[in-house]
Amino acid sequence: MKCPKCKSTNVKVQTINEVELKNDHHGILWWLFIGWWWVPVKWIHFTMLALIFKLFGRKKQKAVNRRRTVATCQNCGHSWNV
Ligand SMILES: [Zn+2]
């Protein structure tokens, strides 16, 4: 493998797993102004959508592969997806 930037062959290839961390912690103000109505509304919508999907939708499955291979040039530090 060659670096597209400096044409060096000193390239390290590694596979990394991307883990998406979601911060779901809301403050007291969020609960006072939004949380008390937003959470039930969200669940109603979620239930409705689930029902609609059950009635009309076929099972649509999307595989999300978050593993990607990244090559890093040891010469110039350039990294790119393989
Ligand atoms: Zn390079």
> Global pTM?
0.41
Span 41-59, average pLDDT = 82
Average pLDDT, the chain: 83
Q: Which residues of 39-49 are buried (b: 16+ CB within 10 A; e: fewer)?
A: eeeeeeeeeee
Distance 11 CA to ligand 1 centre (A): 8
Give me the phi and psi of 36, to 5 degrees please.
-65, -30
Confidence label for 75 from pLDDT (cuts 50, 70 and 90): very high
Comparing 35 with 6, which gets the higher pLDDT?
6
Distance 48 CA to ligand 1 centre (A): 52
Q: What percentage of the chain has pLDDT greater than the value 70?
A: 80
Cross-strand pairs, 68: 16
Distance 71 CA to ligand 1 centre (A): 10
* Domain assignments of the chain as residue spans, ordered by start: 1-17+67-82
Helix (H, G, I), strand (E, B) or coil at 32: helix
Distance 4 CA to ligand 1 centre (A): 7
Distance 65 CA to ligand 1 centre (A): 27
